[in-house]
Structure 1
Amino acid sequence: MTHVIITGGSSGIGLALARIYAGRGARISLLARTLSVLEAVQGELAKDHGASTVRIESTDVADESQTVAAIHRCEEAFGPCDILITCAGVVEPGLFEALSSDAFDRQLQTNFSGSIHAVRAVYAGMKARRSGRIMLVSSGAGLIGIHGYTAYCASKFALHGFAEALRSEARPHGIRISVCFPPDTETPQFTRELEHRPPEAAVIMGRVAPWPADAVASRIVRAIDGGEFEVFFGWTLRALGRFGSTVKPFLNWWFDRAIQRISRHP
């Protein structure tokens, strides 16, 4: 039976992924920080798919030892990890000079280092078995810099570079690495983010309706099934991913003009 481990699995995209894989009969291990939310999700999935199919671990992925220990407990219970999906993430918009060092570091540690910690926990086992799939969840903000998102963009750009390098190392050992770049998605975190999104970013990002979490999760699962490396959502992000060096100068020119107009008319 396939064992799927999902960090950030208690809500949003991670929860939508858990529902899909539980529906396929997989064993699911969910990592997130808030135990009460995890327990509610475990109850929901167990009711629909059986009590023995879902394991939960209250874990802060920013803590390497905590994350590795939690994942190893999941593997002891459900067997080796076949699929790892790193969904855990935080976003705290704010201008660079106004963003505290703690807030900046928290995004780097959770979004980037948290993914590395989870990968480190399963990688050696996958390599020894010569099989395994890892999906790193980046963001559309990992393809182009966005006003007011210096920390978040940095963390998500870093994931892309990590994925590219690890793909080359993992491929000879039968491990398939993927990275996806979701757009704005209807999640509880997105709702909280909007309250703090700078108006300059809203002009740039608010022109496209957010995707439902279920639609994003379905696309991710298809990509894992198909062994895709880079996964894009919609033509805009696909264009950025495939032709970024060509189109970004024009986009940045347009963004600069839009931001300048806002500055003139507060």
Structure 2
Amino acid sequence: MAHVIITGGSSGIGAALARASAARGDDVTVIARTEAALAAQREALVSEFGKHGQRFAAQPADVGDAATLGSAIQQCERELGPCDTLITSAGIVIPGRFESVTSEEFENQIRINLLGTVNAVRAVYPGMKARRRGQILMVGSGLSLIGVYGYTAYCASKYAVAGFAEALRAEARPYGVTVSICFPPDTETPQLLAERSLRPPEAHAAIGAGGMRSADEVARAALAGLHRGRFAIYPGLQMKMLGMFGSVALPFLRPWFDRRILLVKRTSKGSD
């Protein structure tokens, strides 16, 4: 029985990963900012899986605050034991054309998506190295693989997470610590519902080609890849093709996206 710590574990993909980990028989700690949502998630896990002798904990923390997150993870490990698997799923997205995204909004996406991932890893990595075992799964995005209109901040943060995962994988491997990153497409979550209302129409035209998955589908694919020791995990055929052949395809995809964006702009002008 492993102890799995999940940031962003009260909602969306993080909540689905918590349920899927519990279904595997693991002890699970969920971390998020909203205490009410955390309490509800823990109660749901206890109700469904607690009869099997598993243990569940919840700790409130802002992943962008390294000290607070570190303290929360220390408390988790005191309650349920050392972290065997860390899953970093906390993230935010505020789409919008670059000039309309405020500096605060841009920086907050970097703080939560990139530094929040780094902060969580920093809290467990020394222990994993000392024990010479451990798993780290970072939840990236399909937009870690291709830049999309209206997502300058989010793409910057998620590209950086992918680079961090790639470099850390090389450092961690000799110590028995595996690093993986999942690249989900659009996923049915509360965050997506809020995000879609803010997307520029040009972004809708581009992202629609990436497919849609449920949070449970993404969670199952992510955990299957993690436990098979895969570094890059691509839920769905579109993400797999982009991940495996993106460097070859991007010179052809960019003009295709450009044409779709121009078409949207012409259509919107025609309706003005």
Alignment TM-score, normalising by the size of structure 1: 0.98
Does structure 1 conserve the Cα–Cα contact (< 8 Å) formed by 2:9 and 2:15?
yes
Q: What is the distance in 1 between the residues matched to 2:254 and 2:10?
A: 36
Deviations 1:187-244 (A, max 9, x none): 0001001110110010111245420110100001101110100011222222221222
**Among 90, 93, 116, which residue is 2:92 paired with?**
90
2:34 aligned partner = 34
What is the deviation of 1:133? 0.2
Which residue does 2:17 correspond to in 1?
17
Counterpart residue type for residue 16 of structure 1: A
Q: Percent identity?
A: 50
Question: Please, which runs of 5 or more residues in structure 2 have no aligned partner?
Answer: none
- State the distance in 2 between where 1:233 and 1:213 align: 10
Is this contact kept in 1: 2:148–2:203, CA < 8 A?
Answer: yes
Give 1:215's aligned amino acid: E
Distance 1:251 1:63 in 2: 38
Distance in 2 separating the partners of 1:75 and 1:258: 49
Task: State how 1:100-249 maps to structure 2 within 5 Å.
Answer: 100-249=102-251
Shift of 1:50: 1.7
Equivalent residue number for residue 266 of structure 2:
264
> After alignment, is 237-246 or 253-262 more displaced?
237-246
Matches of 2:125 and 2:188, distance apart in 1: 31
Q: Deviations over 1:135-157 (max 9, x none)?
A: 01100000000000000000000
Specify the code of the residue in structure 1 equivalent to 2:123. A
TM-fit CA distance, 1:169 = 0.4
Count of residues paired in the alignment? 266
User: Which consecutive residues of structure 1, in runs of 5 or more, have no partner in the other structure?
Assistant: none
| Structure 1: 4+ residue segments shifted above 3 A | none
Q: Does the 8 A contact of 1:22 with 1:53 survive in 2?
A: no
Paired with 2:222 and 2:248, the residues of 1 have a C-alpha distance of 26
SS at match of 1:172: helix
Preserved contact between residue 149 and residue 202 of structure 2 (Cα < 8 Å): yes
SS state at 1:90 partner: coil
Question: Root-mean-square deviation (CA), in Å?
Answer: 1.1
What's the TM-score once normalised by structure 2's chain length?
Answer: 0.95
Partner-residue secondary structure (3-state), 1:206 = helix
Q: Deviations over 1:26-56 (max 9, x none)?
A: 1111000100011111111111122861110
Write the letter of the residue equivalent to 2:260.
Answer: A
Report the Cα offset of residue 24 of structure 1: 2.3
**Partner in structure 2 of residue 45 of structure 1:** 45
Take 2:24 and 2:236, find their aligned partners in 1: how far apart are those partners? 26
